[in-house]
Structure 1
Amino acid sequence: MKIQGKMFMWLSVFILAMAIVYGLWSKEPAGTTALFLAFGLSIMIGFYLGFTAKRVDVGAQDNKEADVADDAGELGFFSPHSWQPLSLGIGGALAFLGVAVGWWLLYFSAPLILIGVWGWVFEYYRGENRTQ
């Protein structure tokens, strides 16, 4: 993760330089704003990866002597089945549609989003997955 953090930090420096040059040269506010926002996002990702790399064990991608097989194996736990992302997706789509169509649509999207978040957080605390 250390190398990815450095890559994003260098990318953010490049994007900042391009945002300044683009802003001074074109005097176009939308593209300049987009480039500055891309700079902010890139620096956030680089900082997160660099910060996380200090807290976890060194991975195979940070070892110059590593083989491809050294990075094989289990990557973590991923839920095999869940209906909660569907509720969140529909609720999020209705919320964004509410911005375009009318704010009244948020009354229908907020319960769907809350049900989806609540269900996703407590998915493994009920039913057959509940621990005793």
Structure 2
Amino acid sequence: MKAEAWIFAICTIFLVLVTPAYWFITEAGSTGGDWTGTSALTMTTLLTLMVTIYLGFHAKKMDDRPEDRKDGEIADGAGELGFFPPYSWWPLWAALTLGVMVFAIAMGAWWLFIIGTVLGAVATCGLIFEFYRGEHAH
């Protein structure tokens, strides 16, 4: 994870340098400037910073992985990789309820937004608690 954190840190530093330069160049070149590009670069900078902090935080808590060591071999990474959940229908229902909520906001139908919120709560609970019951219960 340390290598990944460094990659995102370098990207963050690059974007911290490029974003003000882009803003300055576009502001000087036209009367109104380009707020769309500047906003996109700012949000990209914050996104890479967020990923850098997340990976850096978890890299400190983890033991060294074979790919993080200079003397690591391919065989060192053999074995169980972790738990991967089987198929699930709950992400589909969560996405559909989010679609209903966005459609309701676009159409101004607040009653439909409330229905979407209730169905979204049910879908989120189903997604969270799917491994507590049924054939894949722990």
Task: Name the TM-score, length of structure 1 as normaliser.
Answer: 0.87
8 A Cα contact 1:60 1:71, kept in partner: yes
| 1:109-128 correspondence to structure 2 within 5 Å | 109-128=116-135
Find 1:90's aligned residue among 89, 96, 104.
96
Is 2:28 aligned against 1:22?
Answer: no
CA deviation string 1:80-125 (max 9, x = no partner): 1222111111011222223322242312321221111111221122
What displacement does 1:128 show?
4.1
Show the counterpart of 1:75: 81
| Identity across matched positions, percent | 35
Is 2:53 aligned against 1:47?
Answer: yes
> By percentage of residues, which structure has more helix?
1
The more displaced of 102-111 and 32-41 is: 102-111
Distance 1:125 1:52 in 2: 27
The structure-2 alpha-carbon separation of the partners of 1:50 and 1:113, relative to structure 1 and needing over 3 Å to count, comes to same
- Cα RMSD (Å) of the superposition? 1.8
Q: Size of the alignment, in residue pairs?
A: 131
Gaps of 5+ in 1: none
Q: Matched residue of 2:64: which SS?
A: coil
Gaps of 5+ in 2: 28-33
Counterpart AA for 2:12: S
CA deviation string 1:39-88 (max 9, x = no partner): 01101100110110110111122112223443344332122122211111
The structure-2 alpha-carbon separation of the partners of 1:54 and 1:101, relative to structure 1 and needing over 3 Å to count, comes to same
Show the counterpart of 1:8: 8
8 A Cα contact 2:9 2:48, kept in partner: yes
The structure-2 alpha-carbon separation of the partners of 1:69 and 1:92, relative to structure 1 and needing over 3 Å to count, comes to farther
The more displaced of 29-38 and 108-117 is: 108-117
Task: Name the TM-score, length of structure 2 as normaliser.
Answer: 0.84
Is 2:114 aligned against 1:107?
Answer: yes
